[in-house]
Amino acid sequence: MSMNQKINLRVWLKIPDAEAATVKNTLIRRLGFGNALADVKKERLFSIEVDSGDPQELARSFARELVNENKESHIVLIDELKFEEGYVPVKVALHIEDGEAISIRERLRSRLGFDNVVDVKKATVWKLYFNTLKPEAQMAAREIAERLLINPHKDSYEIMSQ
């Protein structure tokens, strides 16, 4: 019995991201993070669990389906999720049923024939760049997540380690 594998597909815009710019402006102008916060970027994260097949090959197929190569870049991580140094990654996901993730799973399984897809989870990773040192940055990231990035009725968040 082989273990399931998780294909993590990190996707970000090559073009300016209006939503990330709005969040940055709100944090700096309205919520008082002007001294601490240098920049805000955003990624989409798809975590696709498969029970068979070559994960690298599958990842290429999934990327063709889920990434718009004209305006997006991506990176694939198999059975791990790590981030570069230089920012605090805050992963925000629905803790209620995610209709979009379910429809992606169904599209991969039925329309595209990937019946080895067991599950699809979707999240947004906010990349918060701070001018401050790590402990302060982590605390600020928590505050930002709770004040702006999540709706507590439907979202949960996790400060990811690098």
| All domains of the chain in start order, with CATH | 5-159 (3.30.1280.10)
Distance CA 102, CA 96 (A): 12
pLDDT of 160 > 90? The answer is: yes
Mean pLDDT of 129-154: 94
pLDDT at 57: 97
- Neighbouring residues of 127: CB distance < 8 A, sequence distance ≥ 6: 40, 41, 42, 43, 83, 87, 88, 89, 90
What local confidence, expressed as pLDDT, does residue 3 receive?
A: 87
pTM of the model as a whole = 0.94
Mean pLDDT of 142-146: 97
Tokens (6 digits) for 69: 């190569």
Please determine, for residue 1, whether its predicted confidence score (pLDDT) is greater than 80. no
46-95: per-residue pLDDT in tens?
A: 999 999 999 999 999 999 999 999 999 999 999 999 999 999 999 999 99
Instruction: Give residue 162's pLDDT.
Output: 67
Q: How far apart are CA 44 and CA 72, in angstroms?
A: 10
The confidence band for 2, taking pLDDT boundaries of 50, 70 and 90, is low
Report whether 119 contacts 93 (CB < 8 A): no
Q: pLDDT of 100-134, one tens digit each?
A: 999 999 999 998 999 999 999 999 999 999 998 88
